[in-house]
């Protein structure tokens, strides 16, 4: 008996069925609405500008009238502070120059007088070793000698002469003394001239390091007296 083989039936598709099977499937898409229906993104509201929070980031054209006034106020204040700073700096610089760094400053005149005292043999005999002599201003609660102010006065007479007077103290290992100094700068001169410079040590005769009247007497020139004041 011969074996039998079953062959599956082949389905024949018609053209219409084949067309339906091969029809592509399109996804439905929708375009976003444009034109009049578009909604704009709302602009973030900025903080109001005041004289205390203005950073200059907001353009001038976008400021309101009140905000423009606030910015102008802030800028005027800043400009005024700059001017005040410059004036203070100039004042400090002028003070340092006239009182410290200028060749004719009070500090330099004080140092000049102290050096003359340390080089005078008469002062050294009374005060002691020059390296141990110290000079300072008036006594204060501050024990630090350099912090004691030097008393000085500056005046100008009717003839235009500038007068500088100082007094301070010197301390040595043997004794202490008081120094008096008077200098004059005549019109047209750049340097002071000594009217007198002397040291008083208690119990001893006054020591003159500079004396214009004595110098004039030695040279035979009499000092001019004007309104009771002698001028060399």
Chain-centre distance for alpha carbon 199: 40
Q: What is the pLDDT of residues 141-153, one digit of tens each?
A: 555 555 567 888 9
- Structure tokens, 125: 């005999």
Q: Give the C-alpha distances (Å, rounded to integers) separating 212 from 2, 183, 226.
A: 164, 10, 16
What φ, ψ does residue 109 adopt, rounded to 5°?
-65, -35
Q: What is the DSSP string of 63-92?
A: --HHHHHHHHHHHHHHHHHHHHHHHHHHHH
Is it the case that residue 9 has pLDDT exceeding 70? no
- Residue 228 confidence class, pLDDT cut points 50, 70, 90: very low
Per-domain residue ranges of the chain: 63-101, 106-231
pLDDT of residue 209: 95
Is it the case that residue 76 has pLDDT exceeding 50? yes
pLDDT of residue 38: 52
Q: What is the pLDDT of residues 120-142, one digit of tens each?
A: 999 999 999 999 999 988 766 55
For 220, which DSSP code? T
How many residues would you count in the chain? 232
Q: Hunting for tokens 């053209």 — which residue is that?
A: 15
Q: What is the CATH number of domain 106-231?
A: 3.10.450.320
Q: What is the pLDDT of residues 191-201, one digit of tens each?
A: 899 999 999 99
């Amino acid at each position: 008996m011969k074996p039998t083989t079953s062959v599956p039936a082949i389905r024949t598709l018609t053209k219409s069925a084949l067309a339906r099977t091969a029809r592509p499937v399109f996804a439905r898409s929708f375009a976003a609405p444009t034109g009049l229906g578009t909604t704009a993104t709302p602009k973030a509201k900025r903080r109001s500008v005041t004289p205390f929070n203005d950073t200059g980031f907001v353009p001038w054209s976008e400021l309101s009238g009140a905000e423009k006034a606030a910015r102008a106020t802030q800028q005027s204040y800043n400009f005024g502070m700059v001017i005040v700073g410059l004036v203070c700096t100039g004042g400090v610089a002028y003070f340092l120059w006239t009182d410290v760094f200028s060749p004719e400053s009070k500090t330099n005149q004080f140092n000049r007088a102290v050096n003359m005292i340390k080089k005078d043999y008469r002062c050294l005999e009374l005060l002691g070793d020059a390296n141990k002599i110290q000079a300072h201003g008036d006594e204060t609660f501050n024990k630090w000698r350099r912090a004691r102010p030097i008393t000085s006065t500056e005046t100008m007479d009717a003839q235009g002469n500038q007068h500088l007077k100082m007094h301070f103290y010197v301390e040595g290992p043997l004794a202490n003394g008081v120094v008096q100094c008077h200098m004059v700068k005549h019109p047209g001169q750049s340097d002071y001239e000594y009217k007198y410079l002397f040291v008083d040590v208690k119990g001893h005769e006054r020591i003159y390091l500079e004396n214009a009247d004595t110098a004039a007497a030695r040279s035979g020139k009499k000092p001019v007296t004007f309104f009771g004041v002698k001028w060399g």
